[in-house]
């Protein structure tokens, strides 16, 4: 089944620029022979760069060069430009702006938060923890610092601490499927059975109208992967909405296949998530890290099995 799925995903990865209704292929004969219900994989047109963001970046840059500003004003503009750079995928430039902003005003909690995310993405986990700690020192109720520090701890192989942060992030938000899913991922590293039981207990609290509840159903085994994929376009009325949804869906499909031991399919789904260009989504940010970690693991296994 996974060999078949991998071939389909690979084919779509080389389809090029596609229309909103996606690129589909009829695989009925193969599906019957493989016992697979997958009829088509939906690919959205990648999210375009917002021209308004580009114009705003140019204006901020001009203002920084021409206006006489206080350190606090310059820090605010650098931070705002950094947010725009981040939104269009220019993360190195964003990181430079956030760093310079903090040199001028070291009280910008959100700048520390962004830098913590970037350090997580390049696997500099100690520095990431430090940045998120700085956020929480400045703003103890900054809930997304708990999410982002939890993610750093999760990828830093500290699932117990990650779960604690995700529990803080999901506190009083037990009906938010995304918060519950990250908690599930951390708990799964410690005990798959307990993680599934805890997720099942909370699933009934999620509004059925929230599409991400389907991810929860997938992880609980209530629906098949094929049914999950076939329903991804339901209720979607624009390419942006479809692109946003696919960015999330393909990331969680990657994690699902990864947990099932299907590394090839997992890697392809992470690539599909990245291809949406929805730079601001958590799922897009960490799909590339997932690929990097899987490649590192693959190299390590190869070296163990084939020592020189």
pLDDT at 11: 41
Prediction pTM value = 0.84
Going by C-alpha positions, the residue among 186, 104, 173 that lies closest to residue 143 is: 173
Rg (the chain; Cα; Å)? 21
Q: Given a cut of 50, is residue 159 above it in pLDDT?
A: yes
d(C-alpha 40, C-alpha 46), whole Å: 18
Share of the chain above pLDDT 90, in %: 75
Give 105-142 pLDDT, tens digit per residue.
999 999 999 999 999 999 999 999 999 999 999 999 99
pLDDT at 242: 94
Give 165-198 pLDDT, tens digit per residue.
999 999 889 899 999 999 999 999 999 999 999 9
Mean pLDDT in the chain? Answer: 86
**Who contacts 62 (Cβ-Cβ below 8 Å, separation ≥6)?**
none
d(C-alpha 220, C-alpha 142), whole Å: 30
Cβ count within 10 A of residue 97: 27
pLDDT at 33: 29
d(C-alpha 62, C-alpha 57), whole Å: 9
d(C-alpha 142, C-alpha 264), whole Å: 37
């Amino acid at each position: 089944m996974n060999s078949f799925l991998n071939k389909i995903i690979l084919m779509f990865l080389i389809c090029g620029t596609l229309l909103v209704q996606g690129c589909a292929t009829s695989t009925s004969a193969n599906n019957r022979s493989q016992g697979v219900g997958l009829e088509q994989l939906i690919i959205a047109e990648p999210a375009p760069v917002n021209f308004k963001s580009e114009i705003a970046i140019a204006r901020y840059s001009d203002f920084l060069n021409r206006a006489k500003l206080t350190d606090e004003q310059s820090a605010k503009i650098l931070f705002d430009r950094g947010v725009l750079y981040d939104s269009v995928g220019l993360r190195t430039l964003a990181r430079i702006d956030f760093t310079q902003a903090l040199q001028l005003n070291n009280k910008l909690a959100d700048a520390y938060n962004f830098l913590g995310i970037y350090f997580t993405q390049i696997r500099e986990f100690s520095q990431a923890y430090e940045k998120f700690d700085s956020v929480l020192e400045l703003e103890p109720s900054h809930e997304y610092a708990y999410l982002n520090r939890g993610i750093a701890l999760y990828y830093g192989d500290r699932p117990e601490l990650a779960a604690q942060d995700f529990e803080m992030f999901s506190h009083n938000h037990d009906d938010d499927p995304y918060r519950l899913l990250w908690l599930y991922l951390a708990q799964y590293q410690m005990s798959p059975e307990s993680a599934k039981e805890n997720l099942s207990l909370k699933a009934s609290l999620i509004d059925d109208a929230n599409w991400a509840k389907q991810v929860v159903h997938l992880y609980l085994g209530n629906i098949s992967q094929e049914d999950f994929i076939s329903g991804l376009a339901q209720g979607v009325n624009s390419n942006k909405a479809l692109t946003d949804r696919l960015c999330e869906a393909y990331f969680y499909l990657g994690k699902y296949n990864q947990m099932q031991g299907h590394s090839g399919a997992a890697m392809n789904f992470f690539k599909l998530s990245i291809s949406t260009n929805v730079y601001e989504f958590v799922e897009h940010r960490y799909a590339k890290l997932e690929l990097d970690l899987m490649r590192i693991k693959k190299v390590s296994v190869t070296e163990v099995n084939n020592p020189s």
